[in-house]
Chain A
Amino acid sequence: MEREIKAAPAYFGQPPKWYHLRVSTWWWLGRWQFLRFILRELSSVFVAWSVVIILLLIRATNHGPEAYAQFLEWLKNPLIIALNAPSFLLIMFHTTTWLNLSPKALALGGGGRRIPDLLIAVPNYIAWLVVSTVIGWLVLRD
């Protein structure tokens, strides 16, 4: 006996609604791992802020000694220092999380064996220290 097949299901014309799980806007405050993830993402805002400071330094230097002196005075503004202190901490957070991930990005090895993570992460930290020292020396050797 053949079953009768209806031309269209009963809900034709009314497609079922998608099921959306409602997630709070503040879901990332619930757990330290989530907050850590958002803080790492937000560190990029302070990277952008550092770019603003560098561009202002170049602009001031282009405009001459007076503008350069004004820029140095502006940096002493307590509000700017209050912004720079957490900015520095979050940029350090960016640097450490980035360098800690370097073994994942550089999965080097051969013959089914991978180079241990520390052997990749430690040279990255050493390179970072060398680069920072050289920049510090270049800026301050006046």
Chain B
Amino acid sequence: MAKRSNEPFAWALFSVGGVWAAFLMPVLLFLYGLAIPLGWIGAPSYEHTLALLRHPITRLVLFFLCSLSLFHWAHRFRYTLYDGLQIKHLNELIFLFCYGGAVVGTALAGYLVWKIPWQ
């Protein structure tokens, strides 16, 4: 039997991650990356942020957003290096760096989301 390719699975993660990043990242980066540090709007208090983050839905959304976005990055960045810089000879190394990074990032996101104080 022919060996099955993992490519459709990687592509599915890339695609779902692309949707999550497209919908959620602009507003989050605008708020935390520009509007709050530049003083356009006041920063939310620690108590409010903690109350928001500890909600189970927030935990799940942040975990999936971080993990799927990283798999989206892994797939796209891998092909950017292949096509853009044409370094196909480093195939295995690039694969390990991209998907390994996404797996490590997913584990880290799971750990941090779990460690948000429950009470």
Contacts and interface: CB of A to CB of B under 8 A. Distances in A.
B46 A128 contact: no
* Residue of A81, A95, A131 with most chain B CB atoms under a 10 A cut-off: A95
Interface in A41-97: 41-45, 47-48, 50-51, 53-55, 57-59, 61-62, 64-65, 68-69, 72, 75-76, 80-81, 84-85, 87-88, 91-92, 94-95
26 contacts: A41-B83, A47-B69, A47-B72, A48-B70, A50-B33, A50-B69, A54-B28, A54-B32, A55-B109, A61-B116, A64-B46, A75-B33, A76-B37, A80-B37, A84-B37, A88-B26, A88-B29, A88-B34, A91-B25, A94-B21, A95-B23, A131-B24, A132-B26, A132-B27, A140-B41, A142-B44
Interface of A: 23, 25, 28, 38, 41-45, 47-48, 50-51, 53-55, 57-59, 61-62, 64-65, 68-69, 72, 75-76, 80-81, 84-85, 87-88, 91-92, 94-95, 98-99, 105, 127-128, 131-132, 135-136, 138-142
A44 B65 contact: no
Interface string B30-64: 11111011100111111011101100000000100
Contact of B49 (A61, A94, A98): A61
B19 interface: yes
B interface: dominant SS: helix
Contact of A51 (B41, B69, B113): B69
